[in-house]
Chains A and B, each alone.
Chain A
């Protein structure tokens, strides 16, 4: 299998505080990789280093085969990103948001039109093309934000707690979209603290206090910790945490 993300002893320090402590992992092409951890465990920091938003303090990492220290520009061409904060423009309409994000990734006008029509149909937003994004319910906003994050068909998409505050039904629909993208060959790197979502992932890593304490398929993890659910696995590991939430 082709590795699209590699991290070797990746570390980030903010002053004396070590947010991410020598983490090691690989992500395979087309995989849905769950990046779990309690609040403040260092998930977002690790993800930001991979996206080029933060420079690592030490260690190595490659994304889509490019080095995070030197090949930031090439990495940017190959990834999509959905931040923890809502990342669409509330004062723009649905189509305007699609056009903007498609445009900054250099899609042609025809391609943008095609994509817009496709997304509107996929998300059942027919007739709402000219609605301002702020008028949409949160669940739809999140689904739209995800679809826009992969509008340029990146090799990898990074999702930072994409389903925070969303109801269970919408979360399920959201994961439907993730599976569809994964089936098209897009690698998914997703952080979450919903353990039911962890079950949807091919493999998960669990971060505790900046370190990766466990990394395997959900089934193997449950076996290793003789637990019935991912919830139990997580509680078992997270209890050791010294840090409290951010």
Chain B
């Protein structure tokens, strides 16, 4: 244990002495949080929705059919109570729910005024906005088709409710995204570089000749970066709460534990990369190509995954950041508890165990 601590201390000194890198590591998340703050527009196709039709009359079923037939929406469930809507949202099955009140057609034809409620999952504000606009347009079409032969216009009022993020703040979706990105970068790239650096410098040879166990060498190299990452998580969360006004709705403790888990996943990836890379440049290149870009593309943070062709959607499943992004969004913004994210957590745990196992197994005790 003492040998292990001495190794950790030495790693820390490496980081500490390289002030320029340390500076970048600490400021990068802050700069990114601010950079990605600009809105990212995205078109949405085939979004899952649920319909709660309390009146079941000609008008409501016609509108339902129109919406279900459009390419933007995919009706997955007819729900039968308001409570059911909440539950379906929490399961993450739908992005929007449409509620027809009782006597919808009666109100429309007799008082010329009827209401429809659209409830959207606004933890991804751009998507929510787009979805309600599309639905509003379809309802509007129907309204106009009715009004062609009438003198007194029928009006359907759509009432929009944005779940989780009533003010549609863009920050709500990029805070979790930046967290995934920064952790991936710090942990994966920095650990792989740190290990490969020892190979390049020749110090790895001397360490391998020493009685230190390879397992300890690997863990000792990763530990300091775990701390830097926790610092980054803290700075991102502080910025989002106090500067961007994005509150942490769920449990802070849960959020931190999940982030630690993801950090360990990224560290394992870094170790795995360092096993195959011979130079620091290679390590950096592999990290960039195999992790940084997929995180940007496949975590769902910049581009909605449901819009991608099926093969890409399948690929996105092996990107750890995708699962972390879902977890952070659910915990931080939707305020959901562990019962809602246990599946994603389990996937991350599984990925971590596999990666760590493979990288320790592959760690070369000998030179050739």
Contacts and interface: CB of A to CB of B under 8 A. Distances in A.
B109 interface: no
Interface string A199-215: 00000000000000000
A76 B209 contact: yes
B10 A85 contact: no
Interface in B1-36: 2-3, 6-7, 9-10, 13-14, 17-18
A109 to B, nearest CB: 9
Contact of B207 (A54, A104, A158): A104
B82 to A, nearest CB: 62
A217 B205 CA distance: 31
Contacts of A106: 2-3, 211
Contacts of B13: 91-92, 96
A77 B210 CA distance: 7
B311 interface: no
Interface string A148-191: 01000000001000000000000000000000000000000000
A104 B3 contact: yes
Contacts of A90: 201
Interface in B189-212: 201-203, 205-212
Given A55-B366, A76-B209, A103 B3 contact: yes
Interface stretch (A27-35, A45-53, A219-227, A228-236): A45-53
A100 B10 contact: yes
A92 B18 CA distance: 11
Interface string B144-160: 00000000000000000
A180 to B, nearest CB: 21
Nearest to B198: A89
A99 B209 contact: no
A53 B7 contact: no
A92 B206 contact: no
Contacts of B368: 14, 54
A88 interface: yes
Contacts of A158: 209
Nearest to A82: B206
Interface string A83-102: 11111111110001001110
B367 interface: yes
B6 A99 contact: yes
Contacts of A86: 201-202
A105 B210 contact: yes
A101 B209 CA distance: 11
A5 interface: no
Interface of B: 2-3, 6-7, 9-10, 13-14, 17-18, 201-203, 205-212, 366-368
When A and B form their complex, which 7 residue pairs have the shortest distance between CB atoms, in order from nearest? A85-B202, A103-B6, A81-B209, A91-B17, A87-B206, A76-B211, A83-B205
Interface of A: 14, 48, 51-55, 73, 76-77, 79, 81-92, 96, 99-101, 103-106, 132, 149, 158
Given A104-B6, A105-B211, 7 more contacts: A76-B210, A82-B206, A85-B201, A86-B202, A87-B205, A91-B18, A103-B6
28 contacts: A14-B368, A51-B209, A52-B209, A53-B205, A53-B366, A54-B368, A76-B211, A81-B206, A84-B202, A85-B205, A87-B202, A87-B206, A91-B13, A91-B14, A91-B17, A92-B10, A92-B13, A92-B14, A96-B13, A99-B6, A100-B9, A100-B10, A104-B6, A104-B210, A104-B211, A106-B211, A132-B17, A158-B209
